[in-house]
Structure formats: C-alpha cells, structure tokens
Amino acid sequence: MYPSVARAFFAAQERLLGRRTFAVLRELRESQFWPRDRIDALRLARFKALAASVYAHTPYWRRVMDEHGIAPDAIRSLDDVRRFPFINRQTLQTHREEMVWRGEGRRVLIARTSGSTNEALQFYTSSNRESHITAARMRGHEWVGVRPGDKEVYFWAAPVEINAQGRLRQVRDFLTNNYFSNALLLNEQVAPQYLANWTRWGVNCLFGYVSSMALLAQLVRKQSLDVRPLRERGLRAIVTTSEILSDADRQLITETFGVPTCDSYGLREGGLVGHDCERGTLHTIDEQLILEVIDPQTLQPAPDGTGELVVTMLMSQVQPVIRYRTGDIVTMSDALCPCGRTLRSIKVSGGRMMDFIVTRNGNWVSCVAILYMARTISGVVHIQARQERIGHVHLLLAVDESFPPDGKEQVLRQMRARLASDDEITLEIVDSIEPAPSGKYRPVISKVAEELRRAGRLTP
Ligand SMILES: [Zn+2]
C-alpha cells in the first residue's frame, strides 16, 4: 500500500474511533521546540484541568483529595503534584471501578497490559487517551525518519489463532501498512523466512522487543544472511521497546542491519514516557506527563536525579494515573540535546529483563510466550521458567484458589506446544515467586541461553 493511501486509511480509522490523533500530532510537532517555560505552562494548565476533573468525576480521587486537603482549584504549580499520595499497580487494580470516569469521551473500555511484565493489569482507556499516546509515538517515529503511513513490521507477540476479529484486524493492518511477525519463537529456519517476507513487502521500520531484535541480529550474523535488500527496499530504522536497550545490543543491531536502532520507553498503563531522537537521546513526552524521580526507600526526591520513576499522566482523565510508582530505575536530565528539541531526557537502567528458553531442537522461545500461556489459565498469579541445563525446563507456579483442578495438565500441555520440542518439563506449585532486586519479576531465568550467548552460539 502506498504510504499516502495508508496514511489516509489510518487517519480515517482514527476519526471513526473518535480519536484526534493527527491533530494532536500536529500540536506535538510544534511544542517540541517551545521554550521550556511554555511547555511547563501547558503542563500546569493540563494538571489543573486534571485535578478538577478527577475531583468531579471519580469517587476514589475525590476521597484522596479530601483526605489530603487538596481543593480541586488549589493547584498552583507542578510541584503541587507532591501533595498527592503515591499509587502503584495494586492501586490501579483494586480501585479501578472507583477511578473510572465513564463519561470521559468515546470508546471507554478496559485494556490489558501486554506481556512484558509478569503481572497482568486491566485498566480503562478511551479514544482521547489513546490518541495522545499514539500521536506521541508517531512523533517519536518521525524523529528517526519514519513517517505516518510508512510500512512498519511489529516483530511482536502475534496471536496464533486468528478469529473473526483478528481477520478484521489483519485487513485493517494491511490498509494502514502494519504487519505482524511472531517474535515468540525464533530459530535458524524462521529467521531467513522473516527477512525474505519483510524484504518482499518493503518494510520501512521494524518495531519490537530488544531481546528478539538482538537475537535476530545474531541469527543473521551466524547464518551470514544478506540484509542489503532490506535496506534497498526501504528499511530506515529499527525501534525497540519493552526492555533496556544496552549499548552493546544497540551496536549489534545497528551494525547488523545497517540502519539506526532507536529505543522507546513506555508503560501500557502509564503511556509512552520517552522516545529516542536521531541523536540517541531518550526524550520524555513532557507535554503529556509530570515525571518525578524518588529514592525508593525514603520516597523523597532523588537528589542526583537517579531513582525510581514516578509518572503522572496529564491526558488520562478516563482512569487518572497520578504519582504512579513504576518500579523502573532511571536518571533524568535537563541537558539540552543537539537535535534542538527542548524536551527533557531520561536514561533507564534497572528495568525489565526478558529472556528466552532454548530447546533441544534449537528454538528460542521468548518469555512473553510463557506469560501469554499463563494468562489463558485462571488462577495463575506468577509464573517463572528456570532452565539449568539443555533439554529440561522447570516451571514455578504461584496460584490462587481459582486455579482449576486440571490446571497443572493445562500448563504442561500448553507449554509443550509453545516450546515445539520434546524437552522434559517439570512443574512445581509454590507459595510465591520472589522478584529480582529491581522489583520486577523475571518470567524466565535461563542459564542455557546465557551460556550459549557467551559462547557465541545459537544452537545447543
Ligand atoms: Zn534530541
């Protein structure tokens, strides 16, 4: 599909869904160069509107504001955000129904967090909220040369079973130049197939998990696959997400594919937080957020700018997110970027880590596959796959009372299908699974993947 046609289809779709995405994008293109005091004035106006709205429309926030003596018209500065208490995932989950403003706008509906963390979360979103997030993402893509309507591959968790709704989505994705490739299982057979498909289609941008992109880059090198046709057919950038993009991985992916690798950082429940510009600076979406960095122990502002990120979403009146503790360790910076944009920037250090299980027959199965599998079975609170040696996977499962009597068999059967290999799988029900020191749950811990990587090998 020609970019102009795809852009027109996408714009039409957004209008149909009641989204102002392209109007917001036009605003964001301007405000990124504003003086900072002008951006801060915009934020303050939005913060005041948010405070008034949450007080008027949601019982939860009215109670919180009354308890903390915050009058809805008493917001004077951005620092007034500190008068609100912190919230976390649990708060969003437990109080969801008292937080939602159902009359916020069009298409108020429940969304679910994607598979990059171990705890599924449901929250409310709306056309308004989505249009701001989508526009911010589109602006970030423009920074690295990818325009609305360009062909983009989502190297992602593509659903295995395509139902009627899925088919409709396929048509829509075709019309808007989006294409899904399954990143959940990679091996030496599928890597060349993906490259051939993408080249034939003429992809402009690859978007996906850091771990899957890095693994694909390794497979390309190991098999000496020719990626020049991808560039000749239009590949301009690779945008990663959901995990820390280390310097080593960025270099590996960039050198392998011969195009810049850029990172984006977001939380489904907290919106897009940052996107790399062409200079490799992860700019924050200042127009839409108030960001704080705190010492996770004392809960006070971190003096050196390094600590846990706390997010306030200014454009989410449907389920307001105010002072949300992300658990991610970041460093914020006010330094000006040579790209000329006035947006501040952030570096993410302690964050999500996604690993693979490596099967005897050479499949690299992403932890996301295991999380998706766990979500189809009721009562699974946490899951962790541990792999000490090749040919064996040990599953730990923390469950609650809604776990069905045949739950173990269901898990084992689905796990076998996901691995697509005859490795031995053992399963143990435990009381709880401890998070990593960063506070994040690691769904896969694989010594096998670690050792193979260290040895520069991709097959056992
Ligand atoms: Zn920049």
Report pLDDT digits (tens) over 348-404: 886 556 789 999 999 999 888 888 888 788 888 889 999 999 999 999 999 999 999
Residue 80 has a pLDDT of 97
What's the CA-to-centroid distance between 338 and ligand 1, angstroms?
6
DSSP-assigned beta bridge partners for residue 396: 384, 428
Report pLDDT digits (tens) over 47-87: 999 999 999 999 999 999 999 999 999 999 999 999 999 99
d(C-alpha 300, C-alpha 316), whole Å = 25
Provide the CB-side half-sphere exposure for 302 (13 A, CA): 19
Residue 166 scores a pLDDT above 90: no
DSSP-assigned beta bridge partners for residue 64: none
What's the CA-to-centroid distance between 305 and ligand 1, angstroms?
19
DSSP-assigned beta bridge partners for residue 178: 152
Look at residue 121 and give its three-state secondary structure: coil
Report pLDDT digits (tens) over 120-150: 688 899 999 999 999 999 999 999 999 988 9
Instruction: Say if residues 412 and 325 touch (Cβ distance below 8 Å).
Output: no
Residue 51 has a pLDDT of 97
Residue 177 has a pLDDT of 74
d(C-alpha 379, C-alpha 374), whole Å = 9
In the chain, the domains with their CATH numbers are: 3-350 (3.40.50.12780), 356-454 (3.30.300.30)
What's the CA-to-centroid distance between 56 and ligand 1, angstroms?
38
What's the CA-to-centroid distance between 328 and ligand 1, angstroms?
22
What's the CA-to-centroid distance between 263 and ligand 1, angstroms?
12
What's the CA-to-centroid distance between 333 and ligand 1, angstroms?
12
Residue 8 scores a pLDDT above 90: no
**C-alpha 352: how far from chain center:** 10
Report pLDDT digits (tens) over 228-283: 999 999 999 999 988 888 888 999 999 999 999 999 998 878 889 999 999 999 99
What's the CA-to-centroid distance between 35 and ligand 1, angstroms?
14
Residue 247 has a pLDDT of 87
What's the CA-to-centroid distance between 206 and ligand 1, angstroms?
21
What's the CA-to-centroid distance between 443 and ligand 1, angstroms?
34
- How much is the pTM? 0.85
Higher local confidence (pLDDT), 285 or 400: 285
Per the listing, tokens 């997400």 go with: 241
Q: Which two tokens stand for residue 44?
A: 């303050």
d(C-alpha 257, C-alpha 14), whole Å = 32
What's the CA-to-centroid distance between 303 and ligand 1, angstroms?
24
What's the CA-to-centroid distance between 282 and ligand 1, angstroms?
7
* Environment of ion ligand 1 (residues, CB < 5 A): 277, 279, 281, 337, 339
Radius of gyration for the chain, computed over Cα atoms and rounded to the nearest angstrom? 22
Residue 327 has a pLDDT of 82
What's the CA-to-centroid distance between 295 and ligand 1, angstroms?
27
What's the CA-to-centroid distance between 337 and ligand 1, angstroms?
5
What's the CA-to-centroid distance between 340 and ligand 1, angstroms?
6
What's the CA-to-centroid distance between 341 and ligand 1, angstroms?
6
Instruction: Say if residues 147 and 3 touch (Cβ distance below 8 Å).
Output: yes
What's the CA-to-centroid distance between 306 and ligand 1, angstroms?
20
What's the CA-to-centroid distance between 114 and ligand 1, angstroms?
28
What's the CA-to-centroid distance between 143 and ligand 1, angstroms?
9
